[in-house]
């Protein structure tokens, strides 16, 4: 199974709910950076993770504490079967980067193990299990472009007819999502219960015009994330100076994201950023959610 990274084109955050989670109105877009999850029959449970040289292997949670272990246990418990499988995860989505790489792995593992164990879990059940694993795991199943509400786990597809080009600059050090939400609470103690709506962004998507989209991008977690990592403001500025229509943080960061006018413009911006940054990726969205690459 292959599962995509996500970015948030709109991320409106409200005051924390009684359960501690924040109400969100978000627009997710799946982009063409993927983690691959391979499963095979095994008498017990094994999980191996491989990373490209630019990802710090120590940053990936070890076997037993990885979200893929939790996904397997949850699916097995739901059906009363043994969680036996040999699983390997090949990562290419930045770790702890605000691109939901762990959520992509969990979504891919749910679907792959459902097939391996011949469980035929209905889609609604898979989405519910996904939501238990993390707020943005249901979106990783769905892919494309979707409106996310609740704590981000309630997803519905929205029209997004164009292809958008993005330049992605991962950070060598991750940022903890809970820490960014805590900083949000400190900086916005009077945040409204209702998060900022996504109407402008949804209209911008339908326009198909990158300049219109650039003006509509919105991320309420950018302020708190930049407060924790002021160095990232310079990266955002560099990308905009290099010709990006707009730079913003991906979700809770620290990955920096740049919207470009076209594929060629994205490559140009990436070329300029590569002089100062070891890893600069060019990608596009929307793309499909978790899907089978080979089967049988
Ligand atoms: O749901 P997930 O496990 O991805 O969330 C990680 C953490 O991010 C939560 O424990 C919480 O601190 C924070 N979070 C939040 N509100 C959300 C989503 C996540 O406060 N809507």
Read off the pLDDT of residues 182-206 as tens digits, 9 standing for 90 and up.
Answer: 999 999 999 999 999 999 999 999 9
Is 101 annotated as belonging to a binding site? yes
Q: Which of 21, 71, 104, 252 gets mutated to test ligand 1 (max ligand atoms within 8 A of its CB)? A: 21
21: CA distance to ligand 1 center in Å? 6
Residue 62's pLDDT is what? Answer: 84
In a domain, 279, yes or no: yes
Atom 9 of ligand 1, residue of closest alpha carbon: 178
Q: Which residue's CA is minimally distant from atom 14 of ligand 1? A: 21
Any known ligand binding at 253? Answer: no
Domain total of the chain? 2
In a domain, 290, yes or no: no
Domain holding 94: CATH number?
3.30.230.10
- Residue 180 phi/psi, 5-degree rounding, is -70, -40
Catalytic residue check, 91: no
Structure confidence by residue, pLDDT tens digits, 19-28: 999 999 999 9
CATH code of the domain covering residue 210:
3.30.70.890
In a domain, 295, yes or no: no
DSSP class of residue 15? S
Range of 233's domain?
164-285
Kindly state the average pLDDT of the residues 108-133: 98
Task: Give percent of the chain above pLDDT 70.
Answer: 99
- Do 184 and 146 fall within a single domain? no
Mean pLDDT score, 4-28: 98
Last residue of a domain, one of 157, 189, 211: 157
pLDDT digits (tens, 9 = 90+) for 216-226: 999 999 999 99
Q: Report phi then psi at 166, rounded to 5.
A: -125, 145
Return d(Cα 59, Cα 96) in angstroms, integer.
8
Same domain? For 36 and 153 the reply is: yes
296 in any annotated domain: no
The residue out of 138, 157, 176 marking a domain boundary is 157
Q: Is 19 a catalytic residue?
A: no
For residues 228 and 35, give the distance between their C-alpha atoms in angstroms, rounded to a whole number: 28
Residue where a domain terminates, one of 116, 139, 157? 157
277 shares a domain with 170:
yes
Residues 133, 95 share a domain = yes
Q: Which residues line ligand 1 (CB under 6 A)?
A: 21-22, 24, 134-136, 151-152, 177-178, 181
Let me know whether 132 and 57 are in one domain.
yes
- One domain, residues 170 and 146: no
Residue 109 pLDDT > 70: yes
Q: Is the pLDDT of residue 295 over 80?
A: no
For the stretch 47-70, what's the b/e string if a residue is b when 16 or more beta carbons lie within 10 angstroms of its beta carbon?
bebebeeebeeeebeeeeebbbbb
Residues 230 and 278 in one domain: yes
> Could you read off the pLDDT of 251-284 as tens digits, one per residue?
999 999 999 999 999 999 999 999 999 999 999 9
Asked if 143 contacts 157 with a C-beta cutoff of 8 angstroms, the reply is no
Whether residue 89 is predicted with pLDDT greater than 70 in this model: the reply is: yes
109 and 136 co-located in one domain: yes
CA neighbor of 96 nearest in space, from 167, 171, 4: 171
Residues 189 and 78 in one domain: no
Q: Is 290 annotated as a binding residue?
A: no
pLDDT for 294: 75
Quick one: 145 and 180 in the same domain?
no
Round the average pLDDT of the chain to a whole number and report it: 96
Whether the predicted pLDDT of 296 surpasses 70: no
Cα–ligand 1 centroid distance for 177 (angstroms): 7
Within this chain, do residues 107 and 220 fall inside the same structural domain, yes or no? no
What's the rounded Cα separation, in Å, for the pair 261 and 283? 13
186 and 264 inside one domain: yes
Domain membership flag for residue 90: yes
Q: With 90 as the cut, is the pLDDT of residue 64 above it?
A: no
Catalytically annotated residue among 6, 36, 114, 220: 6
pLDDT tens for each residue of 218-249: 999 999 999 999 999 999 999 999 999 999 99
Residue with CA closest to ligand 1 atom 7: 178
**Using one digit for the tens of pLDDT, what is the confidence trace for 126-146?**
999 999 999 999 999 999 999
For residues 145-152, average pLDDT: 98
24-53 pLDDT, tens digit per residue, is 999 999 999 999 999 999 999 999 999 999
Q: 100 CA distance to ligand 1 centroid (A)?
A: 12
260 belongs to a structural domain? yes
Smallest CA separation from ligand 1 atom 2, residue: 134
Would you say 94 is a known binding-site residue?
yes
The residue whose CA has the least distance to atom 3 of ligand 1 is 134
**Gap between the Cα atoms of 136 and 6, Å rounded:** 9
Taken in order 199, 202, 206, 209, the sign of the CA dihedral is positive
Establish if 292 belongs to a structural domain: no
Atom of ligand 1 nearest to the CA of 181: 20
Question: How far, in Å, from the CA of 42 to the mean position of ligand 1?
Answer: 33
In a domain, 49, yes or no: yes
Q: 83: how many CB neighbours lie within 10 A of its CB?
A: 17
Flag whether 100 is marked binding. Answer: yes
Distance in Å, CA 68 to ligand 1 centroid:
17
* Torsion on CA atoms 198, 203, 209, 215, rounded to nearest 10: -40
């Amino acid at each position: 199974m292959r599962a995509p990274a996500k970015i948030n084109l709109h991320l409106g955050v409200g005051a924390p709910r009684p359960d501690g989670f924040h109400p969100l109105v978000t627009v997710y877009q799946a982009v063409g950076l993927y983690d691959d999850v391979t499963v095979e029959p095994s008498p017990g449970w094994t999980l191996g993770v491989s990373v490209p040289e630019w990802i710090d292997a120590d940053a990936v949670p070890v076997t037993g504490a990885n979200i893929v272990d939790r996904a397997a246990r949850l699916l097995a418990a739901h059906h009363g079967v043994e969680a036996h499988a040999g699983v390997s995860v090949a990562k290419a989505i930045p770790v702890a980067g605000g691109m939901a790489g762990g959520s992509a792995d969990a979504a891919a593992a749910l679907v792959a193990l459902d097939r391996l164990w011949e469980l035929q879990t209905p889609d609604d059940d898979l989405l519910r299990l996904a939501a238990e694993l993390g707020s943005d795991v249901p979106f990783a199943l769905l892919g494309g472009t979707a409106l996310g509400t609740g704590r981000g786990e309630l997803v519905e597809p929205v029209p997004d007819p164009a292809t958008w080009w993005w330049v992605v600059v991962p950070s060598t050090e991750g940022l903890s999502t809970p820490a960014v939400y805590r900083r949000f609470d400190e900086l916005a103690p009077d945040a409204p219960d209702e998060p900022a709506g996504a109407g402008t962004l949804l209209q911008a998507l339908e326009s198909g015009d990158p300049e219109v989209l650039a003006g509509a991008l919105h991320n309420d977690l950018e302020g708190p994330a930049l407060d924790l990592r002021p160095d990232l403001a310079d990266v955002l500025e560099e990308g905009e100076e290099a010709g990006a229509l707009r730079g913003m943080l991906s979700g809770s960061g620290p990955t920096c994201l740049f919207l470009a006018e076209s594929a060629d413009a994205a490559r140009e911006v990436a070329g300029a950023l590569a002089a100062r940054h070891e890893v600069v990726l060019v990608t596009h969205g929307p793309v499909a959610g978790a899907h089978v690459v080979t089967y049988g």
